[in-house]
Structure 1
Amino acid sequence: MFWSGDLAYADADGYVFFAGRSGDRLRVDGENFGAVQVERVLAEFPGVRRLAVYGVPDAASGDQVMLAVAADAFDPGAFAGYLRGRADLGPKWIPRYVRVARELPATASNKILKRRLAREAWQADDPVWWRPGRGLDYRPMTAADAAALRDEFERRGRLHLLEGSG
């Protein structure tokens, strides 16, 4: 026997369900949850071809949820409305950042490269939307926003969490 890194659970009838990979866990404000749970809810948003949910560092502690989505367009108002209407989406599961791409990076077997996406975080060539506050008001992330966020990491002594930041 060997450890595969897969997580699963069994229901009362003995059926076993895949619950993600042990590396796909996020910790937001002390709450631990799997990215696959969030992906299942967000995959139902209209216009999504492919998506990946993963954690990116938070300047204060733990992670923040980031969504990378392959879609032709992104309407932040429609996305916020969708999120408001989902009772099965916990408040800490709501993405802080949304990266919109034509295609997501993948392996030869078409598995999305989440580690690469997480390493790039919001410092990507693709457009990134974010919600700086607690509300659902997404706006495009500007160079000034990214610089202010980097400064916040530096102020809190957490700059080392941002890859390539020196």
Structure 2
Amino acid sequence: MLDKLKQLLQRELLDDNDSGDAAHLSVKLAAAALMIEVIAADYHFKDEERDTLLSILQKRFSLDKDVAESLLTEAEHAHKSATDYFAFTSEINRRYSQKKKIELIHILWQLANADQEIHQIEQHVIRRISNLLYVEHRDYIAAKLAATGHS
């Protein structure tokens, strides 16, 4: 049973371009881990943030609820074991177009604002991720304004 679940997760979490190599981080997992970085930044992992994240994972990656929950669990584990953002951002830089990177920054702002309050530490984390993804400052600001309803 556990092996079947692992196979399902590998099949669902690896992109079409993924090789299936265990050392190769799925871009979906990398994006989800960065999303967790943002909502965990203020040390308060609130229910509305988790619900928003789960909903985003389902919609963004066209996943059913069980697979999205599994991705979230894997991303939480990856987040806890990571020492920096490099493994996540390097995978996204390899696979995402500039447009998709900007969309990811927009999602990070949505998550930070899920509790209707953006903390300075969340803003700092998004700024660092944005820099590592080579997203221009104007796109970073536009994503923030759009996510907070100030566009």
TM-score bracket, shorter-length normalisation: 0.3 to 0.5
State the structure with bigger RCO (CA 8 A, min sep 6), 1 or 2.
2
- Which protein is bigger by CA-based radius of gyration? 1
TM-score normalized by the length of structure 1: 0.31
